[in-house]
Amino acid sequence: MTHPEILLKQVPLFRSLPLDESRRLAALLQKRTLKKGDVLFRKGDEGTALYMILSGKIKIVRQSRDGDEAILALLTSGDFCGEMSLLDDLPRSADAVAIEETQLYGLNRKDFLVYVLNNETAVRSILGALSRRLRKADDFLEDIFFLNVPARLAKKLIELAESGGFKENPSATIELTVTQRELAGMVGATRESVNKALRTFREKKLISLSGNTLQIHDVDALRKKIR
């Protein structure tokens, strides 16, 4: 079995800790496994722990009253979540839900505050990650202001492909299992407008759709849509 201090090397937040520090930290962590659909926490909950993802995928979402989802982020191996409410003492800012089986480590609030915030490397990592998130949120705002739905959708499909959201299949097309509802939630558009854009992409043979499986056939042509 792999020791937690070795697994911690997979987590960028703690990658540069010396081994003895990793060992001390590893002793404080609690491992959890979530099944697909399990809720890690809900918006408004009290923040009791920080979570580091070892494998699997977590979506960070805000829900409308009608049950529509705005997907703020998809987090995968090496990412962390739940730090905001520990840092600002406010309730959880969004829901965190597993979209496939996910293994993670939890670090409780007290240990986070005592151990992590007194470790310069970890503080730098957290600040770096928060800055990157803000940049991404700014980029997304810019897209909402200046790009239409087809352009935002093309951009998101390429981003998912590049970040490994797609599985390479034998015919070298890129495949993604995602619902149109989730895509709409990721680009900040209605399901109807995403549906319409997908139909156009399909007619132009840039993609194909079968059930929830979407295949990209022509990444370069998709890229040209981002104008």
Binding positions for ligand CMP, rule: CB under 6 A? 47, 60, 72-73, 81-85, 92-94, 96, 133, 137
Q: Which is nearer to ligand CMP, 72 or 151 (CB)?
A: 72
Question: Least distance in Å: CB of 60 to ligand CMP?
Answer: 4
Q: Which is nearer to ligand CMP, 174 or 184 (CB)?
A: 184
Query: CA nearest 144: which of 202, 61, 70?
Result: 70
**Cβ neighbours around 10 below 10 Å, total:** 15
Question: Least distance in Å: CB of 134 to ligand CMP?
Answer: 8
User: H-type helices in the chain, by residue range?
Assistant: 4-7, 19-26, 84-88, 109-115, 120-146, 149-162, 180-187, 191-203, 219-224
Q: Which is nearer to ligand CMP, 162 or 168 (CB)?
A: 162
User: Quick one: DSSP state of residue 103?
Assistant: E
Q: Which is nearer to ligand CMP, 76 or 173 (CB)?
A: 76
Question: Least distance in Å: CB of 4 to ligand CMP?
Answer: 21
Tokens of 173: 């097309």
Question: Least distance in Å: CB of 85 to ligand CMP?
Answer: 3
CB 14 within 8 A of CB 105: no
